[in-house]
């Protein structure tokens, strides 16, 4: 395993710039289904290897950009939204990546929250007791369901 380290400010800035340009470089290949998952650091290699297998199985280009120091990753699934079959495979791969992260002791969200796209995997990560607690808190704080109506948890 190699770790990039530098005391040179110019070299450090060049590395940060390369990271900043990584997502647009992958996006040049096509529209992205972009989200984030996080895993414990010892599972990071297993996550990347698993994403590689998922990409091969579904015949997709999936790049993994990461904040490797904290286990947070951004799997970037390139897909064609005008191709129903390709989009179906991209969505299957997305779900498998969510399942993989949880199976490795991780989370379906490293920094961006769950939102509507990841909602189907939330219960699998939290479990029924935590989901019920979330529903009770939502009902107590928003009895008229005026905050984010229809989102549901």
Give the pLDDT confidence of 8-18 residue by residue, as tens digits. 999 888 888 88
pTM exceeds 0.85, yes or no: no
Q: What is the pLDDT of residue 122?
A: 77
Convert the pLDDT of each residue in 92-106 to its tens digit. 999 999 999 999 999
Q: What is the CATH number of the domain that holds 99?
A: 3.30.70.2740
In a domain, 74, yes or no: yes
Boundaries of domain holding 58: 30-113
Q: What is the pLDDT of residue 103?
A: 95
| Cα–Cα distance measured from residue 68 to residue 10, given in angstroms and rounded to the nearest whole number | 21
Total domains in the fold of the chain? 1
> Given pLDDT bands bounded at 50, 70 and 90, which one contains residue 140?
very high
């Amino acid at each position: 395993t190699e770790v990039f380290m530098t005391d040179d400010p110019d070299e450090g800035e060049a590395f940060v710039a390369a990271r900043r340009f990584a997502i647009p470089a992958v996006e040049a290949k096509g529209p992205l289904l972009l989200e984030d998952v996080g895993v414990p650091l010892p599972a990071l290699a297993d996550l990347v290897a698993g994403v590689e297998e998922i990409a091969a199985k579904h015949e997709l280009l999936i790049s993994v950009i990461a904040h490797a120091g904290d286990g947070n990753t951004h799997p970037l699934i390139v897909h064609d939204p005008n191709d129903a079959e390709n989009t179906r495979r991209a969505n299957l791969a997305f779900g498998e990546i969510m399942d993989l992260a949880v199976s490795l002791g991780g989370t379906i969200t490293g920094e961006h929250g769950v939102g509507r796209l990841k909602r189907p995997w939330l219960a699998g990560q939290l479990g029924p007791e935590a989901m019920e607690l979330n529903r009770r808190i939502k009902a107590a704080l928003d009895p008229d369901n005026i905050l984010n109506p229809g989102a549901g948890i």
